[in-house]
Every structure is written in C-alpha cells, then in structure tokens.
C-alpha cells in the first residue's frame, strides 16, 4: 500500500470490524477522504484513519450495555476516591487493587 492511499478491500476490512455495511459509493467516499485525513493524523495507523473516515460517512452503531455489578462497585470506589474519602491510586484501577481496597 502506497503512502496516503488505500483500496476498497482496506475499507471493507475496517467496516467489517465495525459491523458497518457500506455501499460502493460510500467506500469510494472513504477512499477519497483518506489522504487528507491521514495528513491530519500522521501518527495514526491506516486502519484508525479509515475508521475515522467511515465515521464521517455513516453513523457507526454503538452497543449500549448495562453496567455489571463489578463495574458499579468500581465506579463507586472511584467516586469515593475522587471525593477523598478513600485512598485509591487513580492510575491503578486493576481488579487486584480494587479487591485490596474492598477488603481494607
């Protein structure tokens, strides 16, 4: 693949990962948009730039999930830490760290 160029297969690969179906016209629109988008984000890899371009052409569906009880506990602990009611390293919110906090 040459710098600043992509092919329809590249767009289709990213669209498949995003679970988006594109028309041939939309694929061409992404291909046409790609060089400028790549210049705007020279550090981004090609698939991230294609992902962005697809998002400009169609709405990418998101999956809304209810929070699990574990996520609710994590959110609560983070809220306590933000309010200085619980010593918690905000840079380390691993399950092990949270378990240690719960059992204190």
Report the chain (104 residues): mean pLDDT per 10 consecutive residues. Answer: 78 90 94 92 85 88 59 65 56 57 55
Distance spanning both ends of the chain, measured CA to CA: 55
Closest C-alpha among 61, 24, 31, 62 to residue 46: 31
- Tell me how far apart the alpha carbons of residues 104 and 85 are, in angstroms, rounded to a whole number: 13
Tokens 């009880």, residue located: 69
- Tell me how far apart the alpha carbons of residues 80 and 82 are, in angstroms, rounded to a whole number: 5
């Amino acid at each position: 693949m040459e710098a600043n160029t992509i092919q329809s297969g590249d767009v289709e690969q990213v669209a498949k990962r995003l679970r988006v179906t594109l028309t041939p016209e939309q694929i061409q629109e992404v291909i046409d948009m790609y060089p400028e988008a790549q210049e705007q984000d020279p550090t981004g890899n090609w698939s991230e730039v294609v992902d962005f371009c697809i998002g400009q052409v169609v709405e990418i569906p998101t999956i809304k999930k209810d929070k699990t009880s574990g996520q609710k506990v994590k959110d609560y602990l983070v809220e306590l830490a933000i309010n200085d009611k619980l010593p918690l390293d905000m840079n380390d919110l691993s399950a092990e760290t949270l378990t240690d906090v719960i059992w204190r």
